[in-house]
Structure 1
Amino acid sequence: MSKRPHETPTIHVHWVDRGHDPTQPPNLDFPTGTDIDLTGGMGKGCKTSLPYPAKRCGYYVVSCAKCHTKTIVTTAGRPDDPRSVKLRCKRQDA
């Protein structure tokens, strides 16, 4: 049985700390976080989990190494923070 070579992660996630705590209460409709779908329900995409919950107010820079999609997902350090994001692939063959 052959082993698959180690693959470089496709989606990179980097959190930027804005250095302050939330001032608004969380949305009680999402007590265990939210899943962000940026595909609009169209086409293929790649999904990745996000560190949940974030430490405090800030944002994740999420980028795909294959198709170069990049987005920012904001956080507030609350239970309703995003726990995953799905990116739409910009590649034609996806």
Structure 2
Amino acid sequence: MIHVCWIDRGNEATQPPNPAYPDGVDLDVTRGAKPFCQAALPYPAKRCGYYTVACDVCGFTAMVTTAGRPDDPRSIKLPCKLEPVKWR
């Protein structure tokens, strides 16, 4: 199971969102590795902060920043550490 926790930094974004991503960003940190897991992130974030993302099956962890804008991440794909990683 993947656990997602948002940490509020208490700041509002000072820069405009990237117009190329009006519906958010799907992050892929696998670099083509298989197997992998995918999880939705609460979207959009309330304001500037970050998500900690952790898999309690294999132990992979990641941290993802947010700005409370339309170009915030909306999902993340993580590589699984249970098997040797097979890069591309």
When normalised by structure 2's length, the TM-score is: 0.93
Cα separation, 1, equivalents of 2:57 and 2:84: 11
Match of 1:16 among 7, 15, 26: 7
Match of 2:76 among 64, 85, 90: 85
Instruction: Count how many residue pairs are aligned between Structure 1 and Structure 2.
Output: 85
* Percent identity for Structure 1 against Structure 2: 58
Please report the RMSD computed on the Cα atoms of aligned residues, expressed in angstroms. Answer: 1.3
Q: Which amino acid aligns with 2:62?
A: T
Secondary structure, counterpart of 1:13 in structure 2? strand
Unaligned runs of 5+ in 2: none
- Written as runs of structure 1 = structure 2, the 5 A alignment for 1:51-66 is 51-66=42-57
Question: Which residue of 2 is the match for residue 44 of structure 1?
Answer: 35
Greater radius of gyration (CA): 1
Q: Deviations over 1:3-33 (max 9, x none)?
A: xxxxxxx000000000010001000000000
When normalised by structure 1's length, the TM-score is: 0.87
Secondary structure, counterpart of 2:3 in structure 1? strand
Question: Comparing both structures, which one devotes a greater share of its residues to strand?
Answer: 2
Query: After TM superposition, where is structure 1 displaced by more than 6 Å over at least 4 residues in a row?
Result: none
Give, in angstroms, the shift of residue 43 of structure 1.
1.2
Secondary structure, counterpart of 1:18 in structure 2? strand
Match of 1:35 among 11, 23, 26: 26
Give, in angstroms, the shift of residue 62 of structure 1.
0.1
Secondary structure, counterpart of 2:11 in structure 1? coil
Give, in angstroms, the shift of residue 93 of structure 1.
7.2
